[in-house]
Amino acid sequence: MIPVDKLESLARRFRELDDLLCVPEILADRNKLHKLTKERTELDAMVQSFERWKTVGAQLTDAESMLSDPDMRELAEREVTELKGERERLESAIQLQLLPQDPNDAKNTILEIRSGEGGEEAALFAADIFRMYAKYAETKRWTVEVLSLSEAAAGGYKECIALVTGANVYSHLRFEGGVHRVQRVPSTETQGRIHTSTATVAVLPEADDVDVHIEDKDLEISIAASGGPGGQGVNTTNSAVQIIHRPTGLLVKCQDERSQLKNKAKAMKVLKSRLLDLEREKQDAAVSAERKSMVSTGERSQKIRTYNYPQNRVTDHRIKLTINKLDRIIDGDVEEIVTALRTFRQAELLAAAGLGRAPSTIGSDDD
């Protein structure tokens, strides 16, 4: 069953928000307007589901009352079956909607990809991982903007930082953070031996101005000539911007644009997101053990996934999901993995709330 009294209270709050968002004083207050609009958006789907649940309940009562009529019984039985099925689906949806929502789920995302162990092959793999997410973003109609790029001499990326903009980006990519491992024969390998390399992925929700406040006195900003593997315009202008946040020691450098102002704006965007993530990690460290599972926290220190080219296999080690279509996944078809991770997380939350059983892993862990 669903908590009807609580849902009625939330529905009243939703209607109250509709009225508040028409008040001139609130419309003139940017921060308050942002806060109330966000609250209304978070309640919208739940309230719509609840209102439909009440409608279905009334229709079910009417249909059941017709079961005693011999002329209407057959039609009423079909309608009762359909309405009961819809009511069960609505109750399941409402249970999920009542779960605590991560305030970052609807945010855009800073995606940081770096080569790990494996030298040149690791840099090539990092570039493959970035292209995988870029193609996935295309299927979701998201926009990918490269904020900073450091290319390796032999090809691939030492580091790539990008902003992914669109609907609910963070809720889809949040579990991609961690160590990604590849097993394949590098193009430079002459004896056909399989090498193992890694790339790290960090997924940070983009920080809004209302989320993170940075004092100018806490910043150390320096300008330098842009560096890179070569090409027209490199090292000809002092456009690279480096920012150090003194209280935390965080360092961000951006040299992708030829304009100092544009590079500074991009660097500040990355810095704010890293500071927001730092605060989130502090909060995560203080919560219950239920929140500390690998899927829930996305710990970056752990190997989360293996891409095995010889066997055309991808394995996510956290939920022991193995899919034998690496060629399609590396080409951006990662929705099956993303959905499996999100579903697993929802099952964890439902179990913690006493609304379901703790999820088991999906299959064996092919390492």
pLDDT of residue 287: 41
Domain membership flag for residue 364: no
114 and 85 both lie in a single domain: no
Determine the average pLDDT of the residues in 199-223: 81
Instruction: Write down how long the chain is.
Output: 367
For residue 347, being part of any structural domain is answered with yes
Looking at the fold, whether 87 and 134 belong to one and the same domain comes out as no
What 3-state class would DSSP assign to 18?
A: helix
Residue 155, Cα to own-chain centre: how many angstroms? 28
Residue 365 lies in a domain: no
For residue 365, what pLDDT is reported?
Answer: 65
More confident residue, 112 or 186: 112
User: Greater confidence, 357 or 34?
Assistant: 34
The pLDDT assigned to 211 comes to 64
CB atoms within 10 A of CB 351: 14
Mean pLDDT of the chain: 84
User: Same domain for 166 and 28?
Assistant: no
CATH at residue 267? 3.30.160.20
Q: Are residues 115 and 230 in the same domain?
A: no
Give yes or no for residue 290 having a pLDDT over 50.
Answer: no
Q: For the whole model, what pTM was predicted?
A: 0.67
Question: How far is CA 253 from each of CA 148, 216, 248, rounded to the nearest angstrom?
Answer: 8, 17, 15
Q: What is the pLDDT of residue 228?
A: 55
Same domain, 261 and 301: no
Which tokens in the block code for residue 174? 């949040």
Residue 210: the pLDDT is: 54
Q: Given this model, what pLDDT does residue 92 score?
A: 83
Overall number of domains in the chain: 3
Is 27 among the domain residues? yes
Same domain for 114 and 16, yes or no, is no
Q: Quick check: 296 pLDDT over 70? A: no
User: Is 357 contained in some domain?
Assistant: no
Parent domain of 163: 109-209+294-352
* Residue 74's pLDDT band (cuts 50, 70, 90): very high
Q: What is the pLDDT of residue 268?
A: 85
Least confidently predicted of 80-89, 99-108, 142-151: 99-108
* Number of neighbours of residue 170 by Cβ within 10 angstroms: 20
Nearest alpha carbon to residue 35 among 276, 206, 211: 211
Answer yes or no: do 83 and 122 share one domain.
no
Contact between 240 and 259 (Cβ < 8 Å): no
The reply to whether 326 falls in a domain is yes
pLDDT over threshold 50, residue 293: no
b (16+ CB within 10 A) / e for 205-218:
bbbeeebbebeeee
* Amino acid at the residue 205: P
Confidence tier at 348 by pLDDT (50, 70, 90): confident
- Out of 232, 265, 284, pick the residue that ends a domain: 284
Residue 225 confidence class, pLDDT cut points 50, 70, 90: low
The string of pLDDT tens digits covering residues 178-206 is: 999 999 998 777 778 899 999 999 998 88
Residue 349 has pLDDT above 70, yes or no: yes
Indicate whether 49 belongs to any domain.
yes
249: exposed, middle or buried (Cβ count in 10 Å: 0-12, 13-18, 19+): exposed
351 pLDDT exceeds 80?
no
For 353, the 3-state DSSP assignment is: coil
- pLDDT category at 295 given cuts 50, 70, 90 is very low
List, for residues 239-281, the tens digit of each pLDDT value.
Answer: 788 888 988 888 888 887 777 888 888 888 888 888 888 877 7
Tell me which residue of 34, 51, 134 sits closest to 94, measured CA to CA. 51
* SS3 at position 114: strand
For residues 291-316, give the mean pLDDT.
70
Cα distance between residue 146 and residue 165, in whole Å: 11
Residue 232 has pLDDT above 60, yes or no: no
Domain-ending residue, one of 70, 98, 126: 98
pLDDT recorded at residue 176:
95
Domain C-terminal end among 238, 261, 284: 284
